[in-house]
Structure 1
């Protein structure tokens, strides 16, 4: 997995976090990724950091955490288990975050979660999931 380096990624991604007190949630994700790349960390630690960022993170945190989830999943497929887990979260806001990335998920996870999220009890989640399904379908027709 390619990155521009731990400190560079921290500087760049931190700029997008709206609440300065939440920057640490994103920094933990970046550290967990780079610790793995340097053979100092574990996939479990990365999964934990991603889970916290996705569930507790506000604007700029969860979007970047999802980016790192997608980027790291090729080398560390264990992180992919977070999508189905978070798609069943009791908080609609967390399920909404998952729905936002539905179109970027691997085919199997997309198939597993698309019907679930498009029928979510939260109309906000269902609407986002339908929009992302439409986007993915448009891309596949192109």
Structure 2
């Protein structure tokens, strides 16, 4: 990881935004009027503003699907966030992993996986309830 002093840190070169809408595009709380260490923006759409901690949390959950939450562009957004020190996960999005790993509520496991199955009807026997 690269590190910089406060004076020489990377800074975003975004156009000033009209002050009437100063909300984080992720949490919808108020953000600063200007781009700063705590308030970041999207270089692609120039419209999205977000708290640094909000975009960092999104980056970790979105993983390989990380993109601007407003315009949904991945480039130049992804490159800019890396330059600005936002850490990314190399995993698939957490919401996608959850759906793939967990069976849906209407599916049941239908086979005993114990090393020694004690069911008299065998490993493949499934009761209607329970």
TM-score of the pair, normalised by structure 1: 0.27
TM-score (norm 2): 0.28
Larger radius of gyration: 2
More helix by share: 1
